[in-house]
Chain A
Amino acid sequence: MTAAPGTDDAIARRTDEIISGLIGLEGPLLPIFHALQAEYGHVPAAALPPIADRLNISRAEVHGVMSFYHDFRSHPAAAHVVKLCRAEACQSLGADQIAERAQEKLGTGFHGTSADGKVTLEEVFCLGLCACGPAAMVDGKVVGRVDEARLDQILKEVRA
């Protein structure tokens, strides 16, 4: 009997496969989290017990590691993720105003999702695009020189 995808059982089974593919690595935990997040868009709670079992660490430890890192989500993000750089080099070119405008337009703060449920807004501290800021990452794609017009265009595209 195969469990329906998305059920805890199915997630636990899939997690087990992912672990089997990575457990040969030295220090496999972060690669496992990355693989889960790539597959599910977040690290589902149902994935944690099998990780604890197979890596022979406590569930508290698994949870502790996961929650330490800003990247790993415990809940799915919206279909689109807009990350805005808030670090110094981008601030010197007006990133604060861009951040404010984005929050206003989306009706959400950072780490939140827009009222229409389409876009998750996140902050990031430096994308290595500091000579062409303000910088953003839109669904994994880097964007430089994000002025108001560019931001509006980005938001229009992800909300279309």
Chain B
Amino acid sequence: MKVYVPRDAAARALGADEVAAAVLREAKARGLEVTLVRNGSRGMVWLEPLVEVETGGKRVGFGPVTAADVAGVLDGTSKKVLGPVEELPFFKGQTRLTFARVGLTDPLSLAEYQAHGGLEGLRKALGLTGEAVVKEVTDSGLRGRGGAGFPTGIKWETVRKAPGPQKYIVCNADEGDSGTFADRMLMEGDPFCLIEGMAISGIAVGATKGYIYIRSEYPDAIEVMSAACEIARKEGVLGASVLGSGKAFDMEVRVGAGAYVCGEETSLLNSLEGKRGIVRAKPPLPALQGLFGKPTVVNNVISLASVPVVMAKGAAFYKDFGLGRSRGTIPLQIAGNVKYGGLYETAFGLTLGEIVEKIGGGTHSGRPVKAVQVGGPLGAYLPVAQFDTPFGYEEFDAKGALIGHAGLVVFDDTADMRKMARFAMEFCAIESCGKCTPCRIGAVRGVETIDRIGRGDVAAIPLLTDLCETMKDGSLCALGGFTPFPVMSALRHFPDDFTAKAKEAAE
């Protein structure tokens, strides 16, 4: 019998290692022959550790499992039984393209990877010209999943056309946004998919070297990605002749050091070069003068990991999913105070309300939803009144919001939105790279101003608005430039949270 116990960090944080140990212990005590697979997470975090038992080719899920449940799980008598995981409503409703294998396979088995469609995209790409590969990616409509939503194919074309013997592929795995964990889950659950995507990118633009910059807060992802790179090298997926094609591509894992701003692409490049993570002015574009001044593709994990399926199934297949100019699928990360939290990959276009209420099941606390922050610490807070907003780049932009890396953080009615606005400013002050005054000093002033408002000084509200304007206009990057999104959206949609003290005093 095969038993799957996720090695995903969220599963481990909820006791998966203890469960895995109990499985081995129990199997030994009974003389049962058990193969333990540490798979990725299926993404239903409220059911983690979600254990699957496979007998006769059928997988049955149990969750959330504790060590004490293991005996019953092995007998098949446990009350935690869920049935086949694919049949659970949360899973069944998804369109898993990028995350097709995550949770299904052994993350470090290249054989299983290939048995489930892995390397098809790379094989196809190796038979095409770089130009044709880039065209396929462009035609798929894939846009950067790291936040800015820039068309991936167009970025690649700039790098492909840039002259130079040395070019780089840099994968941005800094994933610092609160409420996001798609990059982490993919790296821990299907690392070869990212390797394949980076190799395709390298082949397409003529880069022979890649780096994955993973934040240090992700020790599990670092471990799995590093191991996968080694296996890929040994098996000839990476190296001097990728899959025997005669084309070279290799890559390395690098580890960040706890600076949020290093997720910004030029800061990340400086960090890779061994410098302080200060943001660079653009132009020059990293595509033309990136890592060590060489033409460089910088892409988010999910952008790159979506390329294999685009190549394998074709641009038209991918493009067919989605809404407006947001094509394909997006791994929604439903987080915070939510009943059914986790990763839900689906075509663009669901409304915010459908995501939070129907899929997420409302709040974990059972209280009414007050606000949802979408897109991380630089994303706006959306009130329930905006729940009809469809999930798409332009659709969110029209509401003064952004989808960012597609993390959604749910808050119930006990949330104090003035406090959340204050935190946005505080976070900006802590993480500012220090290059621009509006960001570095403005954020500190922002905290002070919001504190004044909190003490009942409503005259400070216009000051806060002005300050946000200055930050928006005078910041070099989106840290200073977008911090006004959460601040102003909180103020706009929840003015009472800002004036409560003043009203109290007046009464």
Which chain A residues (128-142) contact chain B, with CB distance < 8 Å? 128-133, 135, 137, 140-142
- In the bound complex, residues from chain A placing their C-beta under 8 Å from that of B343 are 131
Pair B336/A128 contact, Cβ less than 8 Å: no
> Is B91 in the interface zone, CB < 8 Å from A?
no
User: In the bound complex, what is the Cα–Cα distance between A101 and B367 (angstroms)?
Assistant: 24
Assess whether B331 is interfacial by the CB under 8 Å rule.
no
B387 within 8 Å of A (CB atoms): no
Q: Is B216 in contact with A71, judged by CB distance below 8 angstroms?
A: yes
Given the known interface contacts A88-B423, A130-B336, the answer about A34 and B181 at a Cβ–Cβ threshold of 8 Å is no
* Residues of B close to A5: CB separation below 8 A: none
Q: B451 to chain A: closest CB distance in Å?
A: 16
Q: Could you tell me if B13 and A30 are in contact, using CB atoms closer than 8 angstroms?
A: no
Least distance between B365 CB and chain A CB atoms (Å): 8
Complex partner residue of B277 from A68, A128, A141, A144, CB under 8 angstroms: A68
Known: A126-B217, A131-B338. A70 touches B258 (CB 8 A): yes
Q: Smallest CB-CB separation from B14: which chain A residue?
A: A144
Q: Which residues of B sit under 8 angstroms from A133, Cβ to Cβ?
A: 335-336
A131 and B45 contact, CB distance less than 8 A: yes
Mask: chain A, 24-64; 1 = CB below 8 Å from B; 0 = not:
01111111011000000000000000000001000000001
Interface contacts (Cβ under 8 Å), in number, total 153
Asked if A126 and B274 sit within 8 Å, CB to CB, the answer is no
Contact between A132 and B13, CB atoms less than 8 A apart: yes
Say whether A128 contacts B273, CB under 8 Å. no
Contact among B181, B272, B430 for A128, CB-based, below 8 A: B181
Residue A87 lies at the interface, judged by CB distance under 8 Å to chain B? yes
Which chain A positions have C-beta within 8 A of B427?
87, 125
Inter-chain contact B276/A68, CB cutoff 8 Å: yes
Which residues of the partner chain A approach B278 to less than 8 Å between Cβ atoms?
68
B257 partner, pick from A30, A88, A90, A125, beta carbons under 8 A: A30
B296 at interface, CB cutoff 8 A: no
Interface membership of A154, Cβ < 8 A? no
Q: Is B299 an interface residue (CB 8 A)?
A: no
User: B196 near A: Cβ within 8 Å?
Assistant: no
Query: Chain B 339-352 against A: per-residue CB contact (8 Å), 1 yes, 0 no?
Result: 00111000000000
Residues of A in contact, count (CB < 8 Å): 42
How far is it, in angstroms, between the C-alpha of A70 and the C-alpha of B260 when the chains are bound?
10
Q: Assuming A30-B255, A31-B254, is B423 touching A126 (CB within 8 A)? A: no
Partner of B217, one of A30, A88, A128, A131: A128
The answer to the question of A151 belonging to the interface, with a C-beta cut-off of 8 Å to chain B, is no
- Chain A residues lying within 8 Å of B183, measured Cβ to Cβ, are 128
Q: Please, what's the 1-or-0 string for B395-426, where 1 marks a CB less than 8 Å from any CB in chain A?
A: 00000000000010111100100001001000
Residues of chain B lying within 8 A (CB to CB) of residue A92: 336-337, 409-412, 415
Given known A27-B272, A131-B334, contact A142–B411 (CB-CB < 8 A): no
Q: Within 8 Å CB of B219, what residues of A?
A: 140
| Other-chain contact of B259, A28, A70, A143 (Cβ < 8 Å) | A70
**Which one of B179, B180, B260, B273 contacts A27 once the chains associate, using CB atoms below 8 Å?**
B273
* B residues near A130, Cβ cutoff 8 Å: 178-181, 333, 335-336, 341, 407, 409
Q: Is the CB of A88 within 8 A of B179?
A: yes
B292 and chain A: residue at smallest CB distance: A26
Q: Given A28-B274, A64-B276, A69-B277, decide whether A88 and B46 contact each other with a Cβ distance below 8 A.
A: no
Q: Flag whether B140 is at the interface (Cβ < 8 A).
A: no
The answer to whether B48 touches A132 (Cβ under 8 A) is yes
B342 and A131 within 8 A (CB): yes
Does B10 have its Cβ within 8 Å of any Cβ on chain A? yes
The reply to whether B420 and A124 contact each other, CB–CB distance below 8 Å, is no
Most chain A CB atoms below 10 A, which of B183, B219, B220, B412:
B219
Asked if B420 and A88 sit within 8 Å, CB to CB, the answer is yes
**With A30-B255, A89-B336: A131-B10 Cβ-Cβ less than 8 Å:** yes
B155 within 8 A of A: no
Q: Is A145 interfacial (CB-CB < 8 Å)?
A: yes
Task: Determine the residue in chain B with the shortest Cβ distance to A131.
Answer: B341
Q: Which residues of the other chain, A, contact B258 by a CB distance below 8 angstroms?
A: 69-71, 124
CA distance A126 to B179 in the complex (A): 8
B438 interface residue per 8 A CB criterion: no
Question: Which A residues touch B275, using CB under 8 A?
Answer: 29, 65
* A104 → chain B closest CB, angstroms: 19
Q: Mark B39-57, 1 if CB is under 8 A from A, else 0.
A: 0000001101000000000
One digit per residue, 1 when the CB lies within 8 angstroms of any chain A CB and 0 when it does not, for chain B 277-304 equals 1100000000000001000000000000
Instruction: Identify which of residues 210-246 in chain B touch chain A, using a CB-to-CB cut-off of 8 Å.
Output: 216-220
Query: What's the minimum C-beta distance from A60 to chain B, rounded to whole angstroms?
Result: 11
Q: How far is the CB of A77 from chain B (nearest CB, A)?
A: 14
B135 CB within 8 Å of chain A: no
Candidate in A70, A72, A130, A132 with the most chain B CB atoms within 10 angstroms: A130
Asked if B184 is at the interface of the complex by the 8 Å CB criterion, the answer is yes
Give the docked Cα–Cα distance between A144 and B15 (Å): 9
Query: With a CB–CB cut-off of 8 A, which chain B residues contact A88?
Result: 178-179, 336, 373, 377, 409, 420, 423
The one of A65, A142, A143 in contact with B276, judged by C-beta atoms closer than 8 angstroms, is A65
How far apart are the CA atoms of A87 and B411 in the complex, in Å? Answer: 13
Which residues of chain B are near A71, meaning CB under 8 Å?
A: 216, 256-258
Cβ-defined partner of A142 (8 Å) among B12, B334, B337: B12
A65-B274, A88-B377 known; A129+B13 contact, CB < 8 A: yes
Show 27 A/B contacts (Cβ-Cβ < 8 Å), sorted by A. A26-B272, A26-B273, A27-B254, A27-B273, A27-B292, A64-B276, A65-B275, A70-B257, A70-B259, A87-B178, A88-B336, A91-B423, A92-B411, A124-B258, A125-B260, A126-B176, A126-B179, A126-B180, A126-B217, A127-B217, A129-B181, A130-B178, A131-B46, A131-B338, A133-B335, A137-B217, A141-B12
